[in-house]
C-alpha cells in the first residue's frame, strides 16, 4: 500500500519484531504534508478550558477557530450553559491592518455586560501575535472595569503543538487558583484534574469519592465553576487524569501549595479501582480504604454479568486504538483485555518517550505502536492487523467504516459516559454494538463470511 | 422588508465558517485533487473534522504545518516539504493549495513559492492556488474563489464546442448527482464543477482508497475555456468576481447567473435556460416531476399557508429557500445569513417579487442575533443547518435541516434541495413536520389527518 514518509520511520515500531528499535521518536512537530491527525495549540487550550461553565470564552481572531469549536463536545454542566456558546471577535481585514485591540475590548465589555460571567478567557489565535495586539493589556483593562478575572490564553495555533496549548490553559487556570476561601476544606480532600465531564463522567467519579468520604474540592475542568478553581489550592491531593493536559497545573500546585499529585485513569475496571485505592491509601485512614474496597466490590458485582456477557461475544477480536494522549491508551488496552480483546495497533497524537515505553511494556508482541500517525498509515495498519474495531475520534471514524471495521468514539465529542465502573459496561456495549453488527457481513472486506442466501 | 444590520460588536454563534473550508470542499470536488492548506496544522484538522461530521466520509486535508520559525522567516520550507510529502503519499492529480489567515497575514509570496516548486520538483503535479484569508469573507467565498481559481488556472482556450459549464455552488452531493442527470436528460455535454457527488458521498471500499474516486476530471476543467455557455447558481454572484465571469472575460463565454433552482419558479428559470441552450424542451420526466410537485402544493396548501419560518444559511441558499417558501404561502419572517455580500436584500427582492413587507432580511448575522429576534417573530418552524437546533429546541418548533452542516443527523449529503425533485422533498418534509407538530400538540391525537 504505502511506505512511511521519510522522517517518520522511527515514529512507528512493532513490539519485539524490529531488532534494536525499542525507542520511538516522538514529541516532535508533525511533518508538513503528512496529514497529521493533530490539531494546534489553540485546540489544546480550548479543549481544556471549554467545560468551565460560568466563564466567558472569547476567541480572538478570524471566525474559523470559534466556529469549529462551537458546542461540539459532550462536556456537561449542572448549571450555567454559557460555555456552549461560541464567541469570536471575528476579525476582519481592517482589524488585521489596524489591530484588533479595540474590538477585543468592546467585545469583552459587551459580553460581560450581557452574560455576567464569573471570569473570562481570551484565546489568542494564529494572527493575534502577528498583528501586534497587546491582549494582556486589554485583559487587564477589562478586568479593572468589570471586576472579574479576565485571563489571556496564549494559544496562537502555530506556536507549538497541542501540548503547548494544554500548558497555556494551565497557566491561565493557575491565575485563578488561590483567590478562594479554603476554610472548611476537610483533611481528606482532592482535586480531579483532567476530567471534562463528558456525558456526565465527572458526576460518576465525584459520587464514588463522596461515598468513600473524600471531598472533591474542584474538578478541573469537568462541570467546573470559577469559584471551585479558586479554592483548588486547599485540596490535599491532586489526581491527574488524562495524560499530559493537566500535569503542568498539578506541578504548579505542588510547587506553591505543597499538594502532591497522582496520575490516575478512570477508564476500565482495573484503573478505576486503582485510582480509588491509591487515593484512599494516600490519606492513611483504613476506614477510607475499607469503604473504597466495599465500593469497588459492589460496583464490580453490579456490572460483572454484563461485562461477562459482552466478553463472551467479543473474545478474540482485535482492536486498533488511536487517541490524543497516550495515557488513555493504557487504560483502553486493559479495558479491551477485560472484554477479551487484543490491541493490535496503538498510537497517540501527543505521547512522550515515557508514555511509549509504558505502552510497549503492556502491549502484546507484534503490536504496532505509532506516534502522530495519519489516515493512510492507520488504514494500512488496520488492514495489516485485520482488526475488528477502531477506537478513536470522529476524524478516524471514516477510516474504519470505509474499510469495514467497527468504530468506538472515545474522544471529546462522544455522548456516552465511558469512565467509572458503569462506564466500563457502556464501553463494552459500544464495542459490542459496533463489532457484532450484521452490516459488516455485507461489506467487501468480509465477503467471504457472507451467508449463503445473501450471495446473489 | 428591512435590511438591518446586527448592532453587536462581537460575533455570537456564527452563522458562517471560514474561507478555507469552502476551498477545501470545492477542491475535493475535482478528480484526484487533495486540498492543501498553507498555515497551521489546526486549520486542516478542524476543517476535516467539520466536513467529516457532515458527510461522514473521509476527507484528507494536508497542511504545511507552520511553526514559529515559519511565521518569522516565511513558510517556504513547510510548503516545499509539504507538497513533496503529499505527492509521495497520495499521488494526486492536482493539489488545491489555499492560504490560511496566518500565511496571508505574514504576506507569503505564493507566486514565488509556486514558481520555485515548478522549477524544482521531480514529479510534477499541478497546483491550483487560491487566496483564502479567513478575515475576508466566509466559507462560501472560499468555495467560489476556489472554483474561479480552478478555471482560471486550468481552463484553456481553443476551438469552441457545445459544452455547458455548470458551477452550482455549495450544494449537496445528491443535488450534484441530480444536476448531472438533468444535463444528461437535455443531452447537454457539460462540466459540472465542483463535483463531490462521489468523492464526498462514496461507496464502501473494495480496496483502500487514498483519495475517494469521482470528481470533475481535469480534462473537463481545461475544456471550460471552450464551452459555449456558463451557468452559475447564486443571485448574489452577479456582484462578485466568479469563475463564470473569469471565463467570460478571458474566453468570451456567455455567463448566465441564476438563482439556486429551489422551488418551482427558480427551477422553471433554470429549465428555460437549458431549453434555450440545448434547443430541446424540458424532458417529459421533469415535466411530470413538476406536475406532481404542483399537485402536491395544492394537496398541502392549507397546512402551510401563512405559517411563519426563520430561514438561515449562505445568502444564495436562503434566497432560493425563501423563493420556495413564498410560492407555497409560508411567510419568511426572518431571512438571515452570516454572509456579507451587501447584496443579500436586493438579490432576495429580485428573486421574490412578492416578499412580504414584514420579512426581516439580515446579512452579516449570527445565531446570537437570530435568537434575540426569534421569540417575537413567533416562527412555526426553522429552515437551515443543524446549528439552529438549540434555538428550535428552545422555541419548541421543528427544525427542517437543509444545507451545511448537518451534524446531528445522518445523510445530510443526500438531501435534495434543487430542481422539482428537491422542492418535492423539501415540501413533503415541511408539510409533514407541521402536521406532526399539530398532531403532537392535539389533545385528541387523531391518527387520520
User: The CATH number of the domain where B99 resides is what?
Assistant: 3.40.50.1980
Q: What is the pLDDT of residue A21?
A: 55
**Residue A12 resides in a domain:** no
As given in the structure block, the three cell numbers for residue B128 are 491550483
**Residue B5 resides in a domain:** no
Q: Are residues A334 and A286 in the same domain?
A: no
Q: What is the pLDDT of residue A154?
A: 96
Q: Are residues B180 and B273 in the same domain?
A: yes
Q: What is the pLDDT of residue B207?
A: 86
Which A-chain residues 97-116 have CB contacts (< 8 A) with chain B?
103, 106-107, 110-111
Residue A450 has pLDDT above 70, yes or no: no
Distances (CA, A) of B127 to A382, B115, B342: 31, 10, 32
Are A93 and B14 a contacting pair at CB < 8 A? no
With 0-12 CB in 10 A as exposed, 13-18 as middle and 19+ as buried, what is A412? middle
Nearest to A188 by CA among A105, A266, A106, A286: A286
Q: Are residues B428 and B311 in the same domain?
A: yes
- Grade residue A452 by pLDDT with cuts at 50, 70 and 90: very low
How far apart, in whole angstroms, are the C-alpha atoms of residue A372 and residue A434?
25
Give phi and psi for B102, each to the nearest 5.
-65, -50
Mean pLDDT of chain B: 95
Q: Are residues A159 and A206 in the same domain?
A: no
CB B431 within 8 A of CB B303: yes
Average pLDDT for B7-21: 93
With 0-12 CB in 10 A as exposed, 13-18 as middle and 19+ as buried, what is A448? exposed
DSSP annotation of A388: S
Q: Are residues B101 and B182 in the same domain?
A: no
Q: Are residues B69 and B102 in the same domain?
A: yes
Are A67 and B18 a contacting pair at CB < 8 A? yes
Looking at B122, B137, B152, the residue that finishes a domain is: B137
Q: Are residues B113 and B199 in the same domain?
A: no
Interchain contact B209–A (C-beta under 8 A): yes
Are B102 and A160 a contacting pair at CB < 8 A? no
Q: What angle do CA B243, B244, B246 make, to 5 degrees?
A: 65
Residue A371 CA neighbour count, 13 Å, CB half = 26
Residue A449 has pLDDT above 50, yes or no: no
pLDDT in tens, A181-192: 999 999 999 999
Which B-chain residues 184-203 have CB contacts (< 8 A) with chain A?
202
Q: Are residues B91 and B123 in the same domain?
A: yes
Looking at A116, A146, A174, the residue that finishes a domain is: A174
Residue A278 belongs to domain with CATH number: 3.40.50.12380
Residue A397 has pLDDT above 90, yes or no: yes
How far apart, in whole angstroms, are the C-alpha atoms of residue A95 and residue B392?
34
β-pairing, B331-336 vs B164-167, is unpaired
Q: Are residues B274 and B310 in the same domain?
A: no
Looking at A295, A328, A359, the residue that finishes a domain is: A295
pLDDT in tens, B210-250: 999 999 999 999 999 999 999 999 999 999 999 999 999 99
Q: What is the pLDDT of residue A325?
A: 87
**Residue B296 resides in a domain:** no
Interchain contact A261–B (C-beta under 8 A): no
pLDDT in tens, B142-192: 999 999 999 999 999 988 889 999 999 999 999 999 999 999 999 999 999
How far apart, in whole angstroms, are the C-alpha atoms of residue A90 and residue A60?
7
Average pLDDT for A293-315: 97
Interchain contact A58–B (C-beta under 8 A): yes
Range of the domain at A60: 41-174
Are B101 and A37 a contacting pair at CB < 8 A? no
Q: What is the pLDDT of residue A446?
A: 79
Within 10 angstroms of residue A429's Cβ, the number of other Cβ atoms is: 16
Q: Are residues B319 and B437 in the same domain?
A: yes
Residue B357 has pLDDT above 80, yes or no: yes
Residue A453 has pLDDT above 60, yes or no: no
**Residue A425 resides in a domain:** no
How far apart, in whole angstroms, are the C-alpha atoms of residue A394 and residue A373?
15
Q: Are residues B431 and B309 in the same domain?
A: yes
Q: Please state, for a pLDDT cut of 90, what percent of chain A lies above it.
A: 88
Residues A245, A250, A252, A253, CA torsion sign: positive
How far apart, in whole angstroms, are the C-alpha atoms of residue A128 and residue A121?
15
Are A33 and B64 a contacting pair at CB < 8 A? yes
With 0-12 CB in 10 A as exposed, 13-18 as middle and 19+ as buried, what is A59? buried
Q: Are residues A155 and A235 in the same domain?
A: no
As given in the structure block, the three cell numbers for residue A194 are 483532567
- Could you say which of A32, A67, A95 has the minimum Cβ distance to residue B135? A95
Q: Which long-range contacts (CB under 8 A, 24 or more apart) does B134-137 make?
A: B134/A62, B134/A63, B134/A64, B134/B18, B134/B19, B134/B20, B134/B100, B134/B101, B135/A62, B135/A91, B135/A92, B135/A93, B135/A95, B135/A96, B135/A127, B135/B101, B135/B104, B136/A92, B136/A93, B136/B19, B137/B19, B137/B340
Average pLDDT for B389-395: 98
**Residue A21 resides in a domain:** no
CB B80 within 8 A of CB B122: no
Interchain contact B405–A (C-beta under 8 A): no
Looking at B278, B310, B342, the residue that finishes a domain is: B278
Residue in the structure block whose three cell numbers are 495515557? A327
Q: Are residues A274 and A350 in the same domain?
A: no
**Residue B48 resides in a domain:** yes
Residue A367 belongs to domain with CATH number: 3.40.50.1980
Beta-strand ranges (E) seen in A15-148 are 55-60, 87-88, 119-124
Nearest CA in chain A to B101: A127
**Residue A9 resides in a domain:** no
- Grade residue A413 by pLDDT with cuts at 50, 70 and 90: confident
Q: Are residues A102 and A196 in the same domain?
A: no
User: Is the ipTM value over 0.85, yes or no?
Assistant: yes
Nearest CA in chain A to B211: A376
Residue B8 has pLDDT above 90, yes or no: no
Average pLDDT for A202-216: 98
How far apart, in whole angstroms, are the C-alpha atoms of residue A180 and residue A170?
17
**Residue A322 resides in a domain:** yes
- For the entire predicted model, the pTM comes to 0.96
**Residue B86 resides in a domain:** yes
pLDDT in tens, A119-174: 999 999 999 989 999 999 999 999 999 999 999 999 999 999 889 999 999 999 99
Q: Which residues of A touch B138 (CB under 8 A)?
A: 63
**Residue B142 resides in a domain:** no
Q: Are residues B370 and B436 in the same domain?
A: yes
Looking at A174, A197, A214, the residue that finishes a domain is: A174
Are A62 and B57 a contacting pair at CB < 8 A? no
Average pLDDT for B262-266: 98
Q: Write down how long chain B is.
A: 449
Q: Are residues A88 and A194 in the same domain?
A: no
The least confident of A69-83, A208-222, B5-19 is B5-19
Distances (CA, A) of A260 to A168, A241, B139: 21, 14, 48
Question: What contacts A262, CB < 8 A, 6 or more positions away?
Answer: A237, A238, A239, A240, A278, A279, A282
Average pLDDT for B353-373: 96
Q: Are residues A47 and A170 in the same domain?
A: yes
Q: What is the pLDDT of residue A456?
A: 39
How far apart, in whole angstroms, are the C-alpha atoms of residue A332 and residue A271?
10
Residue B447 has pLDDT above 50, yes or no: yes
- Could you say which of B57, B85, B88 has the minimum Cβ distance to residue A398? B57
As given in the structure block, the three cell numbers for residue A312 are 463472551
Q: Please state, for a pLDDT cut of 90, what percent of chain B lies above it.
A: 92
pLDDT in tens, B55-110: 999 999 999 998 888 878 889 999 999 999 999 999 999 999 999 999 999 999 99
As given in the structure block, the three cell numbers for residue A246 are 493537566
Q: What is the pLDDT of residue B315?
A: 98
Range of the domain at B214: 164-278
Q: Which residues of A touch B53 (CB under 8 A)?
A: 72, 394
Interchain contact A74–B (C-beta under 8 A): no
Q: Are residues B74 and B118 in the same domain?
A: yes
How far apart, in whole angstroms, are the C-alpha atoms of residue B110 and residue B113?
5
**Residue B290 resides in a domain:** no
As given in the structure block, the three cell numbers for residue B157 are 482556450
Q: Are residues A155 and A239 in the same domain?
A: no
Q: What is the pLDDT of residue A129?
A: 84
How far apart, in whole angstroms, are the C-alpha atoms of residue A359 and residue B47?
31
Q: Are residues A55 and A163 in the same domain?
A: yes
| Number of independent structural domains in chain B | 3
Q: What is the pLDDT of residue B4?
A: 47
Interchain contact A347–B (C-beta under 8 A): no
Q: Are residues A215 and A167 in the same domain?
A: no
| Number of independent structural domains in chain A | 3
Q: Are residues A237 and A263 in the same domain?
A: yes
Looking at B244, B278, B312, the residue that finishes a domain is: B278
pLDDT in tens, A13-47: 998 776 555 789 998 889 999 999 999 999 999 99
Q: Which residues of B touch A122 (CB under 8 A)?
A: none
- Grade residue B194 by pLDDT with cuts at 50, 70 and 90: very high
Q: Are residues B176 and B109 in the same domain?
A: no
Q: Are residues A45 and A170 in the same domain?
A: yes
pLDDT in tens, B315-354: 999 999 999 999 999 999 999 999 999 999 999 999 999 9
Nearest CA in chain A to B16: A67
Residue A454 has pLDDT above 90, yes or no: no
Amino acid at each position: 500500500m504505502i511506505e512511511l514518509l521519510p522522517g517518520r520511520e522511527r515514529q512507528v515500531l512493532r513490539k519485539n519484531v524490529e531488532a534494536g528499535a525499542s525507542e520511538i521518536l516522538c514529541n516532535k512537530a508533525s511533518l508538513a504534508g503528512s496529514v497529521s491527525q493533530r490539531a494546534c495549540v489553540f485546540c489544546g487550550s480550548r479543549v481544556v478550558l471549554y467545560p468551565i461553565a460560568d466563564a466567558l470564552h472569547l476567541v480572538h481572531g478570524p471566525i474559523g477557530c470559534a466556529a469549529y469549536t462551537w458546542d461540539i463536545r459532550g462536556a456537561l454542566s449542572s448549571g450555567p450553559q454559557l460555555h456552549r456558546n461560541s464567541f469570536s471577535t471575528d476579525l476582519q481585514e481592517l482589524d488585521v491592518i489596524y489591530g484588533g485591540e479595540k474590538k477585543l475590548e468592546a467585545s469583552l465589555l459587551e459580553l460581560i455586560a450581557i452574560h455576567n460571567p464569573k471570569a473570562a478567557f481570551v484565546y489568542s489565535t494564529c494572527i493575534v501575535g502577528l498583528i501586534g495586539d497587546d491582549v494582556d493589556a486589554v485583559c487587564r483593562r477589562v478586568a479593572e472595569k468589570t471586576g472579574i478575572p479576565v485571563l489571556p490564553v496564549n494559544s496562537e495555533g502555530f506556536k507549538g503543538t497541542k501540548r503547548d496549548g494544554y500548558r497555556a490553559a494551565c497557566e491561565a487556570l493557575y491565575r485563578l487558583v488561590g483567590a478562594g476561601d479554603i476554610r472548611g476544606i476537610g483533611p481528606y480532600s482532592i482535586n480531579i484534574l483532567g476530567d471534562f465531564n463528558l456525558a456526565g463522567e465527572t458526576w460518576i467519579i465525584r459520587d464514588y469519592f463522596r461515598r468513600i468520604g473524600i471531598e472533591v474540592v474542584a474538578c478541573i475542568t469537568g462541570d467546573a465553576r470559577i469559584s471551585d478553581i479558586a479554592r483548588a489550592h486547599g485540596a490535599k491531593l491532586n489526581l491527574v487524569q488524562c495524560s499530559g493536559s493537566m500535569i503542568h497545573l498539578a506541578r504548579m500546585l505542588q510547587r506553591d501549595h505543597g499538594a502532591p499529585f497522582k496520575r490516575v485513569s478512570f477508564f476500565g475496571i482495573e484503573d478505576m479501582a486503582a485510582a480509588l485505592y491509591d487515593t484512599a491509601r494516600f490519606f492513611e485512614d483504613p476506614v477510607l480504604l475499607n469503604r473504597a474496597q466495599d465500593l469497588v466490590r459492589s460496583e464490580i458485582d453490579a456490572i460483572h454479568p454484563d461485562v461477562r456477557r459482552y466478553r463472551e461475544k467479543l473474545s478474540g477480536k482485535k482492536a486498533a486504538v488511536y487517541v490524543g494522549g497516550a495515557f488513555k491508551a493504557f487504560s483502553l488496552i486493559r479495558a479491551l483485555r477485560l472484554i477479551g480483546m487484543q490491541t493490535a495497533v496503538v498510537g497517540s497524537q501527543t505521547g512522550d518517550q515515557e508514555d511509549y515505553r509504558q505502552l510497549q511494556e503492556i502491549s502484546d508482541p507484534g503490536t504496532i505502536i505509532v506516534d502522530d500517525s495519519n489516515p493512510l498509515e492507520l488504514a494500512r495498519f488496520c488492514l495489516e492487523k485485520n482488526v475488528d474495531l477502531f477506537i478513536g475520534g470522529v476524524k478516524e471514524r471514516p477510516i474504519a467504516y470505509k474499510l469495514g471495521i467497527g468504530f468506538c468514539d472515545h474522544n471529546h465529542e462522544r455522548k456516552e459516559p465511558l469512565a467509572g465502573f458503569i462506564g466500563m459496561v457502556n464501553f463494552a456495549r459500544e464495542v459490542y454494538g459496533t463489532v457484532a453488527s450484521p452490516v459488516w457481513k455485507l461489506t467487501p472486506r468480509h465477503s467471504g463470511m457472507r451467508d449463503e442466501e445473501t450471495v446473489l | 422588508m428591512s435590511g438591518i444590520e446586527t448592532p453587536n460588536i462581537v460575533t455570537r454563534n456564527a452563522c458562517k465558517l471560514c474561507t478555507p473550508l469552502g476551498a477545501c470542499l470545492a477542491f475535493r470536488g475535482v478528480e484526484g485533487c487533495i486540498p492543501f492548506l498553507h498555515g497551521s496544522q489546526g486549520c486542516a484538522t478542524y476543517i476535516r473534522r467539520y466536513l467529516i461530521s457532515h458527510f461522514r466520509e473521509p476527507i484528507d486535508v494536508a497542511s504545511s504545518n507552520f511553526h514559529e520559525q515559519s511565521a518569522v522567516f516565511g513558510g517556504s520550507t513547510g510548503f516545499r516539504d509539504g507538497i513533496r510529502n503529499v505527492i509521495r503519499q497520495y499521488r494526486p492529480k492536482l493539489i488545491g493549495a489555499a492560504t490560511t489567515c496566518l500565511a496571508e497575514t505574514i504576506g507569503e509570496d505564493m507566486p514565488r513559492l509556486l514558481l520555485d516548486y515548478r522549477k524544482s520538483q521531480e514529479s510534477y503535479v499541478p497546483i491550483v492556488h487560491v487566496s483564502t484569508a479567513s478575515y475576508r469573507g466566509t466559507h462560501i467565498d472560499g468555495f467560489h474563489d476556489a472554483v474561479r481559481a480552478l478555471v482560471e488556472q486550468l481552463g484553456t482556450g481553443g476551438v469552441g464546442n457545445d459544452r455547458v459549464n455548470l458551477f452550482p455552488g455549495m450544494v449537496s452531493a445528491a443535488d450534484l448527482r441530480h444536476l448531472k442527470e438533468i444535463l444528461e436528460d437535455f443531452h447537454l455535454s457539460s462540466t459540472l464543477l465542483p463535483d463531490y457527488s462521489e468523492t464526498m458521498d462514496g461507496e464502501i471500499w473494495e480496496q483502500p482508497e487514498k483519495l475517494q474516486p469521482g470528481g470533475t476530471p481535469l480534462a473537463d476543467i481545461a475544456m471550460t475555456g471552450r464551452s459555449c455557455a456558463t451557468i452559475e447558481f447564486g443571485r448574489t454572484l452577479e456582484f462578485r468576481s466568479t469563475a463564470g465571469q473569469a471565463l467570460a472575460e478571458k474566453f468570451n463565454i456567455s455567463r448566465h447567473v441564476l438563482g439556486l433552482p429551489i422551488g418551482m419558479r427558480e427551477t422553471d428559470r433554470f429549465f428555460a435556460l437549458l431549453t434555450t441552450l440545448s434547443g430541446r424542451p424540458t424532458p417529459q420526466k421533469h415535466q411530470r416531476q413538476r406536475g406532481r410537485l404542483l399537485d402536491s402544493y395544492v394537496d398541502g396548501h392549507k397546512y402551510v399557508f401563512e405559517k411563519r419560518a426563520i430561514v438561515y444559511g449562505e445568502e444564495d441558499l436562503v434566497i432560493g429557500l425563501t423563493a420556495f417558501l413564498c410560492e407555497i404561502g409560508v411567510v419568511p419572517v426572518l431571512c438571515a445569513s452570516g454572509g456579507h455580500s451587501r447584496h443579500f436584500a436586493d438579490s432576495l427582492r429580485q428573486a421574490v417579487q412578492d416578499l412580504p413587507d414584514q420579512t426581516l432580511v439580515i446579512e452579516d448575522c449570527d445565531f446570537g442575533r437570530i435568537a434575540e429576534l426569534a421569540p417575537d417573530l413567533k416562527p412555526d418552524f426553522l429552515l437551515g443547518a443543524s446549528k439552529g437546533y438549540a434555538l428550535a429546541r428552545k422555541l419548541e418548533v421543528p427544525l427542517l435541516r437543509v444545507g451545511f452542516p448537518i451534524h446531528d443527523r445522518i445523510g445530510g449529503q443526500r438531501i435534495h434541495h434543487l430542481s422539482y425533485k428537491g422542492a418535492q422533498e423539501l415540501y413533503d418534509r415541511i408539510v409533514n413536520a407541521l402536521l406532526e407538530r399539530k398532531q403532537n400538540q392535539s389533545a385528541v391525537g387523531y391518527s387520520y389527518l
